[in-house]
């Protein structure tokens, strides 16, 4: 264990020293060599005052310590990203629930629209839109109780025409007892069939829908 920590510390220190030299032209070791060289070649009859250079050396040491801290934090973030990546891959084949308003339609089987209502509502409706933001279907759901709810969408538009497979969005709204409009919280349910990474972010593939790993709220199976 101690060997691994020593190796990591040495690597971090080396990285910090290199970054420091690239940024300001020298690191603490370079400055110390320069200091020793000047001491060796000073006029013995008029020796230099080392106070100023020692003060500069102390400042450089503080700067290098700051670089060390930054390097250690960067390595920690990389380690966390790798851990999240491994965790996201482990979800393949499992059923998840995530925050989001998209639903994938495979072109034949009904798609389940999941949502959560903050309170009991009446005259509730679900509105389904395509990737261009156009409304393709509006359905009257009637009265809804507070809590989780679902609607099985058959993949057809308002005229009864079958739509193409792909990702669609939906929203659910209704009125409370006082006539105020309430919006439901849309959810994504499905089995993870793949993972992709974009700009360091893991996305779970649920059919034609991509869900950020951080949006997952529950896992089954």
pLDDT value at 3 more than 50: no
Residues 21 and 99 in one domain: no
Q: How far is the CA of 62 from the CAs of 58, 169, 194, in angstroms? A: 6, 53, 46
What is the pLDDT averaged over residues 93-99?
91
pLDDT classification of 5: cutoffs 50, 70, 90: very low
Lowest-confidence range among 24-28, 119-123, 148-152, 182-186? 24-28
Taking alpha carbons only, the member of 108, 166, 167, 161 closest to residue 137 is 161
**Sign of the dihedral defined by the CA atoms of residues 210, 215, 220, 221, in that order:** positive
CATH classification of the domain holding 139: 2.60.40.4070
pLDDT value at 128 more than 80: yes
The pTM assigned to this predicted structure is: 0.60
Residues 129 and 164 in one domain: yes
Residues 82 and 30 in one domain: yes
Residues 209 and 120 in one domain: yes
Q: 119 vs 75, which has greater pLDDT? A: 119
What is the pLDDT averaged over residues 84-109?
86
Q: How many domains does the chain have?
A: 2
Residues 67 and 167 in one domain: no
* pLDDT, tens digit, 9 for 90 and up, residues 197-211: 887 788 899 988 999
Residues 105 and 196 in one domain: yes
Residues 30 and 8 in one domain: yes
pLDDT classification of 139: cutoffs 50, 70, 90: very high
Residues 69 and 109 in one domain: no
Residues 114 and 74 in one domain: no
Sequence-ordered list of residues with C-beta below 8 angstroms from that of 154, at least 6 positions apart, any chain: 110
Sequence-ordered list of residues with C-beta below 8 angstroms from that of 192, at least 6 positions apart, any chain: 91, 92, 93, 94, 95, 96, 204, 205, 206
Mean pLDDT of the chain: 79
Joined together, the tokens standing for residue 180 give: 């105020």
Residue tagged 């940024």 (tokens):
23
From the CB of residue 134, how many other CB atoms can be counted at a distance below 10 Å?
9
3-class SS at 133? coil
CA distance 184 to 167: 20
Q: Which of 37, 66, 89 is the last residue of a domain?
A: 89
Full domain range(s) for residue 194: 95-220
CA distance 10 to 28: 15
Beta-strand runs (E) in 81-165: 95-99, 102-105, 111-117, 121-129, 135-144, 147-153
Give the model's pLDDT for residue 164.
Answer: 95
Give the model's pLDDT for residue 219.
Answer: 87
Residues 216 and 141 in one domain: yes
What is the pLDDT averaged over residues 30-39?
68
Residues 134 and 203 in one domain: yes
Q: Write phi, then psi, for 150 (nearest 5 degrees).
A: -140, 160
């Amino acid at each position: 264990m101690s060997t691994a920590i020593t190796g990591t510390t040495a690597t971090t220190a080396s990285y910090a020293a290199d970054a420091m030299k690239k940024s300001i032209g020298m690191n603490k070791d370079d400055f110390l060599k320069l200091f020793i060289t000047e001491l060796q070649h000073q006029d013995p009859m008029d020796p230099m005052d080392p106070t100023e250079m020692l003060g500069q050396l102390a400042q450089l040491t503080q700067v290098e310590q700051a670089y060390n801290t930054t390097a250690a934090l960067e390595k920690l973030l990389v380690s966390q990203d790798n851990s999240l990546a491994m965790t996201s891959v482990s979800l393949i084949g499992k059923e998840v629930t995530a925050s989001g308003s998209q639903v994938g339609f495979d072109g034949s089987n009904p798609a389940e629209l999941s949502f959560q209502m903050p309170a009991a509502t009446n005259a509730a409706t679900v509105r389904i839109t395509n990737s261009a933001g156009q409304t393709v279907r509006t359905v009257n759901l009637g009265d809804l109780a507070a809590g989780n709810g679902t609607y099985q969408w058959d993949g057809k538009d308002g005229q009864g025409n079958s739509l193409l497979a792909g990702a669609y969005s939906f929203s659910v709204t209704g009125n409370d007892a006082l006539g105020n409009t309430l919006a439901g919280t849309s959810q994504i349910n499905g089995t993870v069939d793949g993972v992709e990474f974009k700009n360091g972010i893991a996305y779970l593939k649920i059919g034609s829908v991509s869900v950020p790993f951080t949006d997952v709220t529950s896992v089954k199976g």
